[in-house]
Amino acid sequence: MSVRIHDDRFRQVIGDAVSLERLGTGFEFTEGPIWHPHEKHLTFSDMPGDHMRRWYPDGRIETYRKPSNMANGSTYDAEGRMLSCEHATSRVVREEADGSLTVIASHYDGKELNSPNDIVVRKDSCIYFTDPTFGRMDYYGIERATELGYQGVYCVDPDGGGITCLADDFEQPNGLCFSLDHRTLFVNDTVRKHIRVFHLAEDGTASEGAVWVDVTGEGEGHPDGMKIDSLGNLYCTGPGGVHVFLPDKTLLGVILMQEFTANFTWGGGDLKEMVFTSSTSLYRMRTKTPGLALF
């Protein structure tokens, strides 16, 4: 069975079933997939392998950056510049047109960040990222002590000139995404197995932060990668695969995965191809609802 349907509307959003195609395998632990909507390629990370690769529609998979400072989540800003979270250095960096890296964030309140994990850019160009401690653990990062006493969610100016901690009461904040109007920020907590919701003010600050929904069920997996599609439906990795929620929190169903899946994105010319970073492999499937272009 390729899907677990909880609500019949799942069929309109995803389909009656899905067919997974493996695009590549033999990696250590894949993460951070991003699709370039103009150049038509997918970049993804392999944190333990200290390697970022790029997949092309003709099937080629090439090294993009190695070493990568054990990069995890990435995204693009409005100018098409790649922003990445580095586990090994506890930095958020931006790749410039000449290939050089600009450090956007590395410290807060005089202390080194834990290990920035996932990242999104609001339409006003402000950058939001989560900062759990996974990158200070062996295998997924470099084992070392933390300087901060909490795991937070941050907003930083696009030039890296100012950083604000939006919330510091997570156990391990991980995936994050905006609502369609960018007035709401969703952030999941891997350990607590739920998604929280924050209201964003015009100045980028956040309020509220109540639990929006729990992500539970059968199978291996936990909240990690999270995104919304072009209709505002929210997708989050969790037990068994990728859980699909309506904007009103109704669980439509679960896309069942063949391997433990940490993240995903949409690609293809019509953005109706979902691509999953699943442990040692990269998978693709067609879906009925397109995702959103990053820029």
Which residue, 256, 265, 250, is CA-closest to 238?
256
- Tell whether 10 is covered by a domain: no
- Tell whether 284 is covered by a domain: no
Percent of the chain with pLDDT over 90: 97
- Tell whether 102 is covered by a domain: yes
pLDDT of residue 204: 85
pLDDT (tens digit per residue) in 128-151: 999 999 999 999 999 999 999 999
- Tell whether 238 is covered by a domain: no
- Tell whether 243 is covered by a domain: no
Q: Residue 45 is part of which domain span?
A: 31-229
Q: What is the CATH number of the domain that holds 153?
A: 2.120.10.30
pLDDT of residue 260: 97
Q: CA–CA separation, 275 vs 152, rounded Å?
A: 28
Q: CA–CA separation, 6 vs 220, rounded Å?
A: 18
pLDDT (tens digit per residue) in 82-92: 999 999 999 99
- Tell whether 258 is covered by a domain: no
Is it the case that residue 203 has pLDDT exceeding 90?
no
| 277-283 mean pLDDT | 98
Is it the case that residue 161 has pLDDT exceeding 90?
no
Task: List, as one string, the DSSP characters of 140-174.
Answer: TB-----SSSSEEEEEE-TTS--EEEEEEEESSEE
Cβ 228 vs Cβ 219: under 8 Å: no
Secondary structure class of 72 (helix, strand, coil): strand
- Tell whether 25 is covered by a domain: no
Cα atoms found within 13 Å of the Cα of residue 294, Cβ hemisphere only: 29
Domain count, the chain: 1
- Tell whether 26 is covered by a domain: no
Cβ 76 vs Cβ 36: under 8 Å: yes
Could you tell me which residues come within 8 angstroms of residue 195 by beta carbon, excluding any fewer than 6 positions away? 186, 187, 188, 189, 211, 212, 213, 214, 215, 223, 226, 234, 236
Q: CA–CA separation, 60 vs 54, rounded Å?
A: 8
pLDDT (tens digit per residue) in 36-59: 999 999 999 999 999 999 999 999
pLDDT of residue 230: 98
Q: How confident is the model at residue 226 (pLDDT cuts 50, 70, 90)?
A: very high
* C-alpha radius of gyration, the chain, whole number: 17
